[in-house]
Amino acid sequence: MTGFLDPTNLIDTFGLIGIAVVLFAECGLLVGFFLPGDSLLFTAGLLAAAGRIAPLWVLLLVLPVAAIAGNLVGWWIGRKAGPAVFRRPDSRLFKADHVDRSQAFFDRHGPRTVLLARFVPVVRTFATVMAGASRMDLRRFALWSALGGVLWAGGLTLLGFWLGQVALVREHVELFVLGVVALSLLPVVVEVLRTRRTTA
């Protein structure tokens, strides 16, 4: 991954505040669905192990809070704007298919979607807004959101940090980041293939 959305480039350019802003946008703002949250968290952990960013304890405090705050804003957007948010025509950034996939995920898993969707790119952005639009109880939403935020943001950062202690990983950061990007897209690929098989 190269260019502006390269996780290492983002972190080197904007630091901890940049990571927090990206996580906030990806977890709560509809325009943030394309942002590289998974690989950004993993890379932050790797760079923390190399001493190139804030200490690990700071990451484990700030990043889950940013993800949870993004979710709460997304819920509020869905609550206030309601179904009108999802009736927009397709554009370069907004696709009705994203909404359909998120709705199917939400219907299948219920309130646990807020937790499970954390680990599914694109779905995690739209499911949050959908929870607000469907009038999910704020207290229940906040509980699942907090649990998911800690497991997702904290877990991927810790994974990167622990692997960053391994010389092989530390010397080939870019390759491992690409691997994480590929793994994070795997659930989306599986869902697309399953949908095509169902409609075929």
- pLDDT score for 195: 60
Phi first, then psi, for residue 55 (nearest 5°) are -60, 155
CB atoms within 10 A of CB 61: 12
Spatial distance between the Cα atoms of 23 and 37, rounded to a whole number of angstroms: 6
3-state secondary structure 58-110: HHHHHHHHHHHHHHHHHHHHHHHHHHHHHHCCCCCCCCHHHHHHHHHHHHHHH
- pLDDT score for 147: 93
- The low-confidence residues of the chain, meaning pLDDT below 50, are 1-2, 93
Q: Tabulate helix, strand, coil % of the chain (nearest 5).
A: 80, 0, 20
Domain ranges of the chain: 7-199
Burial of 199 (0-12, 13-18, 19+ CB in 10 A): exposed
- pLDDT score for 79: 85
Q: How many whole angstroms from its chain centre is CA 92?
A: 20
Task: Tell me the per-residue pLDDT of 137-196, one tens digit each, with 9 for 90 and over.
Answer: 899 899 999 999 999 999 999 998 998 888 777 666 667 666 766 666 666 566 556 666
- pLDDT score for 81: 81
What are 165's two structure tokens? 């202690």
